[in-house]
Amino acid sequence: MFAAVLAKGKKMNSNIKGFVYGIATSATFGLIPLFTLPLMAKGMQFDSILFYRFLFASIVLVCIMASKKESLRIDKKDIPVLVLLGFFYTASAMFLFWGYNFMSVGIATTLHFTYPIFVTLIMLLFFREKTSWVTLLAIGLAICGVARLSIIEGEMKLSVLGVFIVLLSAVGYALYITTVNKSRVHTMTGRKLTFYVFIVSTILFSIKASTNEGIQPIPDMMSLINLILLAIVPTVISNITLVLAVHNIGGTLTAVLGAMEPVTAVFVGVLVFGEPFTFNLAIGILLIIIAVTMIILSKSIQKALRGLRRALFHL
């Protein structure tokens, strides 16, 4: 009896930890604009910002791994996959930051949050994974949400190019997630995988910056602090808490808690940068969050509805 109560207590404690880690993951990721917009206001290009972000994040990660005596050794066969993952992650970060030039950070982050829908579409189109009416309804709601954010009183209020660019960031992240799950590196530890992805991203952004104005020097001490915080809070911490959340409550609930990402970004935009919070923005965000949650919980929803239908027929 005592053992059962103890086991139940441990499970509850694990669940509480998991929810805290899950909320921390999405909330910290939603803080990207808080550290990024001041850097852009100083004249820094996103190529340089992202170069420093991933460089500093790589340094922090390798220090954490060294303190835990984790090996950095990888199989040569993993290198092409890690390069591809780095490319997808780089593309996602680049398009999201580019999107900040076209719209508020809240709307950009909300559009980026549609990535689970693109994961579903990729699995459907390329891996022939079966879909359901719940998934199709969710995709329809997401389209309505994007339209609500973009179109007001029949007029396009957001730049079509801007919406397209930010949706590309969602596609890039969806390709990253799908590749992790379907490739040989899915068994690699989270920190090691993230470290090599960050290294590839650092190299790619240094190359991209060199084709433009080169890597810009850090303007001042406040910018250095923002870059370090950008590397630590929404990059290293969010990735570490993500792994801990999945370990404690599973991937599904962790993904549902990801709804805090656009909510946090909207609050940062409104409270810190004075961006307007409108009825259309609220409805658009709500529709997209509902759609993504339906995608994540589609199997559970179908199972619950089948149980309800059986219960009604047996009355």
Q: What CA dihedral angle connects 251, 257, 258 and 259, to 10 degrees?
A: 140
Domain of 173? 1-314
Percent of residues, the chain, with pLDDT higher than 90: 35
Predicted confidence (pLDDT) per residue in 164-175, tens digit: 999 999 999 889
Calculate mean pLDDT across residues 265-280: 85
Domain count, the chain: 1
Predicted confidence (pLDDT) per residue in 66-96, tens digit: 999 999 999 999 999 999 999 999 999 999 9
214 vs 35, 59, 102, 106, 207, CA distance in Å? 21, 21, 23, 29, 9
Q: Are 29 and 109 in contact (CB under 8 A)?
A: no
Distance CA 29, CA 23 (A): 10
Predicted confidence (pLDDT) per residue in 130-166, tens digit: 777 887 888 888 888 887 777 654 555 678 899 999 9
- Angle CA 247–248–253, to nearest 5: 95
Taken in order 302, 304, 305, 310, the sign of the CA dihedral is positive
